[in-house]
Amino acid sequence: MSDDGSLVLVAVEAPGLAIVTLNRPEKRNAIPLAMWPRLGAAFRELAARDDVRAVILTGAGGNFSAGADIAEFATMRRDATQAAAYADAGAETSQLLRDFPKPIVAAVSGYGVGGGCGLALICDFRVGDRTTRMGIPAARLGIVYGTEACRALIHHVGLANAKRLLFSGKIFAAQDCLAFGLLDQLAPGTALEGARALASEFLESAPLSVRGAKRIANAVARGDDQRCAPRTSRRWSIRRSTARTTARGSAPSRRNAARVSGGNRQRRAGTVKDGSGEQRRPMPVAAQTLRTVAGGDAAAGALRGRVPALGRMSPAPRAPGATTAGRGERDGG
């Protein structure tokens, strides 16, 4: 039986490839609570190592993982508090793998079911072989599959296939797994050999390029690409957007420009008579707009910043009954 210290094995192969092995072969690598923090610690260490460019996740003894170790449920999930702690341990490590900055290839030989299937789906790629068997037997065990696990499942196999896997609880053979989308490749030899061949394609690529591509691709898949985009891209996008707005002008700016232009034409046309018969120059149309549309000096003050170079203009006094060309044109009088 594997002790806690050997539940997860890590080996770094030259050049740049690490192999992480779930090491509980006597239980088909069923995952006990103690394995989750060991797995998380292994991936944290590999994330910090510059000599590691890709990781293969596999299982010992010819099986990937039979999922959660249900034998410990009676003692480790006796009440709601323990069940929540159990779920949190798996969720924390799963999120760490989702955010892992380097490619992860799952080598799925033998059984990869339940939580083992979910763990494989977190990886960037899944390579199987003729021995591969995958499925989610939660419905046959009276268990509801978690939200994040369902999200990953639907992402890879589609809604209809996900429902078939969840509702039936069946275990499917390798060719069916490939057809569903649970597997990306079927290796002619072992899954580990196929995973090595796939991972080797990434080892000569620029690490920062791979890291950035993985981050952006995952963000796009989540619909979170704007928040996750590089800062330079966001700044460039903002500058382009600002330049386009400045070049064509916003709709309010075009309307204000038209009103000012109209006022200039009226001023060139001469003066108008007020109710007392005196002649005076009309109020600039931009000022009329602020006074009329805003309906008061306070609102006009708030809008003043939208009209360039208007300053704190005050209209000339009018006699009772007086009108202006601008107001008359707007009111139809």
Q: What is the mean pLDDT of residues 264-273?
A: 50
Per-residue three-class SS string for 269-321: HCCEECCCCCEECCCCHHHHHHHHHHCCHHHHHHHHCCCCCCCCCCCCCCCCC
Report d(CA 97, CA 104) in Å as an integer: 8
Is the confidence at residue 252, as pLDDT, over 90?
no
Residue 73 lies in a domain: yes
Structure tokens at 117: 């299937």
Give the pairing of strands 185-186 and 171-173: unpaired
The runs of H, that is alpha helices, within 51-132 are 73-76, 80-98, 115-122
Instruction: Write down the pLDDT at residue 263.
Output: 53
Instruction: Write down the pLDDT at residue 15.
Output: 87
Q: Residue 39: which of 28, 54, 29, 49 has the closest Cα?
A: 29
CB 56 within 8 A of CB 107: yes
Residue 296 lies in a domain: yes
CB 104 within 8 A of CB 67: no
Structure tokens at 2: 């594997």
Predicted TM-score (pTM) of the model is 0.68
Tell me the percentage of the chain whose pLDDT exceeds 90: 56
Q: Does residue 306 share a domain with residue 173?
A: no
Residue with more model confidence, 170 or 302: 170
Instruction: Write down the pLDDT at residue 244.
Output: 55
Q: Does residue 303 share a domain with residue 182?
A: no
Instruction: Write down the pLDDT at residue 131.
Output: 98
What is the tally of structural domains in the chain? 2
CB 181 within 8 A of CB 158: yes
Range 290-321 burial, b when 16+ CB lie within 10 A, else e = bbeeeeeeeebeebbeebeebeeeeeeeeeee
Instruction: Write down the pLDDT at residue 181.
Output: 97
Is the confidence at residue 133, as pLDDT, over 60?
yes
Residue with more model confidence, 78 or 176: 176
* Res. 141 pLDDT band, cuts 50 70 90: confident
Residue 235 lies in a domain: no
Give the pairing of strands 133-135 and 171-173: antiparallel
Is the confidence at residue 18, as pLDDT, over 70?
yes
Q: Does residue 154 share a domain with residue 283?
A: no
Q: Does residue 304 share a domain with residue 192?
A: no
Lowest mean pLDDT among 32-41, 55-64, 104-113, 296-305: 296-305
Q: Does residue 283 share a domain with residue 193?
A: no
pLDDT per residue over 109-120, tens digit each? 999 999 999 999
Is the confidence at residue 294, as pLDDT, over 50?
no
Report d(CA 239, CA 246) in Å as an integer: 10
Q: Residue 149: which of 168, 136, 140 has the closest Cα?
A: 136
Residue 100 lies in a domain: yes
Q: Does residue 179 share a domain with residue 285?
A: no
* Res. 300 pLDDT band, cuts 50 70 90: very low
Instruction: Write down the pLDDT at residue 79.
Output: 86
Look up the domain containing 168 and give its range. 4-205
Q: Does residue 296 share a domain with residue 153?
A: no
Tell me the percentage of the chain whose pLDDT exceeds 70: 66
Q: Does residue 292 share a domain with residue 161?
A: no
Residue 20 lies in a domain: yes
Q: Does residue 78 share a domain with residue 196?
A: yes
Angle at the Cα of 292 from the Cα atoms of 291 and 294, rounded to 5 degrees:
70
Residue 230 lies in a domain: no
State the residue for tokens 């539940």: 7
Structure tokens at 107: 């080598």
Q: Does residue 283 share a domain with residue 201?
A: no
Q: Does residue 201 share a domain with residue 292?
A: no
Is the confidence at residue 301, as pLDDT, over 50?
no
Q: Does residue 284 share a domain with residue 147?
A: no
The runs of H, that is alpha helices, within 158-204 are 159-168, 174-180, 191-200
Query: How many C-beta atoms lie closer than 10 Å to residue 125's C-beta?
Result: 20
CATH code of 180's domain: 3.90.226.10
* Res. 145 pLDDT band, cuts 50 70 90: confident
Report d(CA 140, CA 160) in Å as an integer: 19
For the chain, give the number of residues.
333
Q: What is the mean pLDDT of residues 318-331?
A: 46
Residue 166 lies in a domain: yes
Is the confidence at residue 237, as pLDDT, over 90?
no
Sheet holding 125-128, edge to edge: 8-13, 17-22, 54-59, 104-108, 125-128, 185-186
CB 96 within 8 A of CB 57: no
Report d(CA 276, CA 267) in Å as an integer: 20
Report d(CA 274, CA 213) in Å as an integer: 71
Tell me how far apart the terminal alpha carbons of the chain are, to the nearest angstrom.
97
Residue with more model confidence, 272 or 60: 60
pLDDT per residue over 75-93, tens digit each? 888 888 888 888 899 999 9
Residue with more model confidence, 332 or 199: 199
* Res. 287 pLDDT band, cuts 50 70 90: very low
pLDDT averaged over every residue in the chain: 79
Q: What is the mean pLDDT of residues 303-324?
A: 46
Residue 231 lies in a domain: no
